[in-house]
Structure 1
Amino acid sequence: MDVEELRLRLEFEKQTLPLPTQLINKLRLAPDKVEQALSWLNANEHHHIITLSDPLYPPLLAQIIDPPPLLFAKGDISSLLLPSIALVGSRNASPGGIEVANTLAAQLTIEGFSVTSGMALGIDGAAHRGAISAGGSTMAVLGSGLEKIYPQRHRYLYQDIIENGCVISELWPDVGPFAGNFPKRNRIVSGLSVGTVVVEATQKSGSLISARLAMEQNRNVFAVPGSVLSGYHEGCHELIRNGATLVETAADIIEELTSLSHYHLEEVRARHHIEAKSNCSLPFPPLLASVGYETTTIDRVVEHSGQSLDLVLIQMLELELQGWVTAVPGGYVRLKRS
């Protein structure tokens, strides 16, 4: 991507989105700003800039009222194509809440979901760690630019997330963590996900913003109940009274979301112009030969097949939809012989 291509993509997004004037003005970028972004992009192979018209733009996020026209990402962007569940909650979480978030995240990734959160202290951090501990994929949406890690206490977690998924921001890489950024980023957390789970929340918790946004985006909302003797769960109990699904284990979430995860795959297939199930008995033979009956990483598939990452991701989705392979934590497993 060069300066002119990035400018053209931004112009396209301005013309096709009902953006407010203030945001349109922000997208009228000075050449040096565009150069800075492209310098950041070219500094590392794991740096990515994804526009709304990009095939790798998350299809569920594209459906919200105000999708970010530009995403900066660090890490493995194939994570963006997995069906995701958001786990959010209080920064001042109880030890029990930390344990619940960790356990739920691990169980969800074992079932093939990616876990999305905001890398904040408390429940967010526990959700990311739970996904990583189970060998799964996790995405962190930051309220700062990707080069301004916040909170600093999570700088090592930040690196772990990059190695096991990706970190994302709509903000330019050098933007600091201003208070107004965080409620706005919550729409991305919920927008990326087929459902949002609130693990612990007081009546004034910022996590309730994510839950409200998820409802507005027509996504499922889940809440974990707790003791009425503490204030940790007042927000969760209120959500349940208002129709959120009560969650005790990951099975409660998965049962509700199974049909939605299939819908997500269909949306991705349509976005990438993947044909319906073919009568061909062996689709993409070189690619299929790259996947073993034990977990094969996507990097291994790309290296063995000799194809580009974008093409591999598209074809692997088709193979999954046809039942030849299945996505598992850490990569793919072949299900049947040719």
Structure 2
Amino acid sequence: MYTHTKKPTGLCIELLESQGGLISLEDFHELWSMLRKTHSLDHLYPLPTDTEEFHLLYIIISRDQEHGDLGIHANGYGIEDEGKYRLAGFACLVVPPNERREKSILSGNPNGICDTADIRIALLPAVQKRGFGRFVVHELLGHAFDTLRIRRVTASVVSPVRPSHSAAQKKQIGFNTKQICRIFETFGFKFEGISRGAVMNTEAPEDDKPVWHDVHRMSMLVTDYFEEHIISSLSTIRSPCHKLPLKTVRLSPWDTMIQRQEEEKRDLKLWAEAPKDTLANDACDEDGENSDVETMLGDDDVDEHDWDMANDFDD
């Protein structure tokens, strides 16, 4: 239910034949090989082996460019355009089976859907930063929340660091991982945390030992989705001065953590400072006499009769 996102020029979306589309499974496997060769799958969470878990799989097709190999030619797929198109990536909505789905099937409702779905996306380098991924993710989120009425959508970003990587390589991989997480944050996803050593690398092991990667977990609830929609709708309304209202800048989880650490450092510094000694004469006047006496008890010139009780009950 996001505001309408304009479809980028040169983008076309198609489905697999098994889902009623035009893309064959063989072409998808070939596209997968191209994505692997270009390291476009390094940050992708492993796909399920059970095809039934793919509720929706979009094949991203791009108009052929003069520079860069975009993969497999997509001519012959019924795309009505004079330009040549090529398969350039995919995005999918994975709906794994869980207890809720099993209960819905047992209760006699085989169309029951589970309450969580996961978004996966991979693009060839030549079509990145052209708005393709943003448009497709918008479409998948709309399908998940508006059509399927799913309560929660997740995004899992793998940090493919290996022990053999140099310090510079590890730093670059960490930066790329955080960049992907920040992209999901622009959609309204919230950072949940890091699952350490959650995914095993399927490539050749190092020193005959498997390599396990950390996974950065992101999630978006249906309440977040509609909140983002409301904010987007309000941001398009002009004020009487014909100026757009200012949008609140949302800090990333890493910026929030750094800010919190700085606050803790300031608190520790204040606690570490030695307390100042309180002098006995601090509460005295210049003559060394107690300056509070006159305030609390009155000075010596006060008439004793001022403290007498009223004689209202005298005869």
Could you state the TM-score of these two structures normalised by the residue count of structure 2?
0.28
Whichever structure has more helix as a proportion of its residues is 1
Whichever structure has more strand as a proportion of its residues is 2
Pair member with larger Rg: 2
